[in-house]
Amino acid sequence: MTIALERPVGTTLPDTLVSSEVRERLAARINQDHPEIDVPFARRIVDQTAAFLAAGAHKPGQSLVPSELVDIGWHTWIVHTVDYAESCHRIAGQFIHHYPTEPGEKASGGRAAARKRTLAAIQAAGYTIDPEIWTFADGDCSQCHQGCTDSPVNK
Protein backbone atom coordinates (compact mmCIF):
# COMPACT_ATOMS: atom_id res chain seq x y z
CA MET A 1 0.00 0.00 0.00
CA THR A 2 1.26 3.45 -0.92
CA ILE A 3 0.37 6.52 1.09
CA ALA A 4 0.73 9.99 -0.41
CA LEU A 5 0.24 13.16 1.57
CA GLU A 6 -2.31 15.45 0.00
CA ARG A 7 -2.16 19.22 0.15
CA PRO A 8 -5.63 20.79 -0.20
CA VAL A 9 -6.42 22.88 -3.27
CA GLY A 10 -6.31 26.59 -2.55
CA THR A 11 -3.50 26.48 0.00
CA THR A 12 0.08 27.36 -0.67
CA LEU A 13 2.84 24.81 -0.77
CA PRO A 14 5.29 24.64 2.09
CA ASP A 15 8.25 26.99 1.93
CA THR A 16 10.41 23.93 1.28
CA LEU A 17 9.25 24.12 -2.36
CA VAL A 18 8.84 27.85 -2.86
CA SER A 19 9.52 30.54 -0.30
CA SER A 20 6.88 33.16 0.33
CA GLU A 21 9.28 35.85 -0.95
CA VAL A 22 9.83 34.06 -4.26
CA ARG A 23 6.10 33.26 -4.56
CA GLU A 24 5.23 36.95 -4.15
CA ARG A 25 7.96 38.12 -6.54
CA LEU A 26 6.88 35.68 -9.25
CA ALA A 27 3.17 36.34 -8.74
CA ALA A 28 3.75 40.08 -9.11
CA ARG A 29 5.73 39.49 -12.31
CA ILE A 30 3.07 37.20 -13.77
CA ASN A 31 0.47 39.89 -13.03
CA GLN A 32 2.69 42.57 -14.61
CA ASP A 33 3.27 40.52 -17.77
CA HIS A 34 -0.31 39.17 -17.90
CA PRO A 35 -2.62 41.83 -16.41
CA GLU A 36 -5.62 39.55 -16.91
CA ILE A 37 -4.16 37.31 -14.18
CA ASP A 38 -4.61 38.80 -10.71
CA VAL A 39 -1.98 38.31 -8.01
CA PRO A 40 -3.91 35.75 -5.91
CA PHE A 41 -4.44 33.56 -9.00
CA ALA A 42 -0.80 34.08 -9.99
CA ARG A 43 0.26 32.71 -6.58
CA ARG A 44 -1.69 29.55 -7.37
CA ILE A 45 0.11 29.33 -10.73
CA VAL A 46 3.47 29.57 -8.95
CA ASP A 47 2.48 26.84 -6.50
CA GLN A 48 1.30 24.51 -9.26
CA THR A 49 4.49 25.20 -11.21
CA ALA A 50 6.49 24.15 -8.14
CA ALA A 51 4.37 20.99 -7.85
CA PHE A 52 5.02 20.28 -11.56
CA LEU A 53 8.78 20.66 -11.08
CA ALA A 54 8.70 18.55 -7.93
CA ALA A 55 6.78 15.80 -9.76
CA GLY A 56 9.46 15.71 -12.45
CA ALA A 57 12.15 15.44 -9.78
CA HIS A 58 10.18 12.82 -7.83
CA LYS A 59 10.32 10.36 -10.75
CA PRO A 60 12.97 11.49 -13.26
CA GLY A 61 12.71 10.47 -16.88
CA GLN A 62 8.99 11.08 -17.26
CA SER A 63 7.79 13.13 -20.18
CA LEU A 64 5.60 15.70 -18.43
CA VAL A 65 3.76 18.62 -20.00
CA PRO A 66 2.75 21.86 -18.30
CA SER A 67 -0.64 23.46 -18.78
CA GLU A 68 -0.63 26.85 -20.48
CA LEU A 69 -0.73 28.59 -17.09
CA VAL A 70 2.03 26.43 -15.59
CA ASP A 71 4.10 27.20 -18.69
CA ILE A 72 3.64 30.92 -17.92
CA GLY A 73 4.72 30.26 -14.32
CA TRP A 74 7.73 28.22 -15.40
CA HIS A 75 8.91 30.81 -17.93
CA THR A 76 8.48 33.59 -15.38
CA TRP A 77 10.51 31.61 -12.84
CA ILE A 78 13.28 30.80 -15.32
CA VAL A 79 13.96 34.47 -16.08
CA HIS A 80 14.47 35.04 -12.35
CA THR A 81 17.70 33.06 -12.67
CA VAL A 82 18.92 33.26 -9.07
CA ASP A 83 15.50 32.33 -7.65
CA TYR A 84 15.06 29.56 -10.22
CA ALA A 85 18.48 27.97 -9.68
CA GLU A 86 18.08 28.07 -5.88
CA SER A 87 14.56 26.67 -6.07
CA CYS A 88 15.63 23.86 -8.41
CA HIS A 89 18.26 22.76 -5.93
CA ARG A 90 15.73 22.90 -3.12
CA ILE A 91 13.07 21.01 -5.11
CA ALA A 92 15.24 18.50 -7.01
CA GLY A 93 18.75 18.71 -5.64
CA GLN A 94 19.95 19.96 -9.03
CA PHE A 95 19.11 22.38 -11.81
CA ILE A 96 15.92 21.52 -13.73
CA HIS A 97 16.36 22.23 -17.41
CA HIS A 98 13.53 23.31 -19.69
CA TYR A 99 13.31 21.38 -22.95
CA PRO A 100 10.77 22.90 -25.34
CA THR A 101 9.22 20.60 -27.89
CA GLU A 102 10.72 21.09 -31.32
CA PRO A 103 8.39 22.24 -34.10
CA GLY A 104 6.44 19.24 -35.36
CA GLU A 105 7.49 17.06 -32.40
CA LYS A 106 4.66 15.37 -30.54
CA ALA A 107 4.44 14.64 -26.82
CA SER A 108 5.56 11.13 -25.90
CA GLY A 109 2.57 8.80 -26.31
CA GLY A 110 0.32 11.63 -27.51
CA ARG A 111 -1.04 14.75 -25.86
CA ALA A 112 -3.83 13.05 -23.90
CA ALA A 113 -1.41 10.47 -22.50
CA ALA A 114 1.09 13.21 -21.57
CA ARG A 115 -1.62 15.17 -19.75
CA LYS A 116 -2.75 12.09 -17.84
CA ARG A 117 0.87 11.17 -17.00
CA THR A 118 1.59 14.70 -15.76
CA LEU A 119 -1.42 14.94 -13.47
CA ALA A 120 -0.79 11.45 -12.10
CA ALA A 121 2.87 12.32 -11.43
CA ILE A 122 1.89 15.45 -9.48
CA GLN A 123 -0.55 13.48 -7.35
CA ALA A 124 1.97 10.64 -6.86
CA ALA A 125 4.47 13.21 -5.57
CA GLY A 126 1.89 14.17 -2.92
CA TYR A 127 0.37 17.33 -4.39
CA THR A 128 -3.22 18.14 -5.23
CA ILE A 129 -4.15 19.36 -8.68
CA ASP A 130 -5.67 22.85 -8.87
CA PRO A 131 -8.12 22.22 -11.75
CA GLU A 132 -8.31 25.88 -12.80
CA ILE A 133 -4.55 25.88 -13.40
CA TRP A 134 -4.49 22.55 -15.22
CA THR A 135 -6.72 23.25 -18.19
CA PHE A 136 -5.31 22.26 -21.56
CA ALA A 137 -6.07 23.54 -25.04
CA ASP A 138 -7.91 21.02 -27.16
CA GLY A 139 -6.10 19.47 -30.07
CA ASP A 140 -2.62 20.28 -31.21
CA CYS A 141 -1.70 23.84 -30.39
CA SER A 142 1.01 25.70 -32.24
CA GLN A 143 2.05 27.64 -29.13
CA CYS A 144 5.83 27.43 -28.95
CA HIS A 145 5.99 25.60 -25.61
CA GLN A 146 2.67 23.79 -25.58
CA GLY A 147 4.40 20.42 -25.42
CA CYS A 148 7.31 21.22 -23.12
CA THR A 149 8.78 18.26 -21.32
CA ASP A 150 10.65 18.07 -18.06
CA SER A 151 13.22 15.57 -17.02
CA PRO A 152 15.60 16.93 -14.41
CA VAL A 153 17.98 13.98 -14.73
CA ASN A 154 17.68 12.23 -18.07
CA LYS A 155 18.08 15.07 -20.57
Q: What is the DSSP string of 11-28?
A: SPPPTTTS-HHHHHHHHH
In a domain, 145, yes or no: no
Q: Is residue 3 part of a domain?
A: no
Number of domains in the chain: 1
From residue 54, alpha-carbon distances to 28, 32, 86 in Å are 22, 26, 14
How close are the terminal C-alpha atoms of the chain, in Å?
31
Question: Does 4 fall in a domain?
Answer: no
Mean pLDDT of the chain: 79
What residues have CB less than 8 Å from 129, skipping those under 6 apart?
A: 9, 48, 119, 122, 123
Whether residue 142 is contained in a domain is answered as no
Q: Has residue 88 been placed in a domain?
A: yes
Tell me: pLDDT of 116 over 50.
yes
Q: Whole-prediction pTM value?
A: 0.77
Q: What is the pLDDT of residues 59-99, one digit of tens each?
A: 787 888 999 999 999 999 999 999 999 999 988 889 998 87
Domain that includes residue 59, residue range: 20-124
> Is 144 within a domain?
no
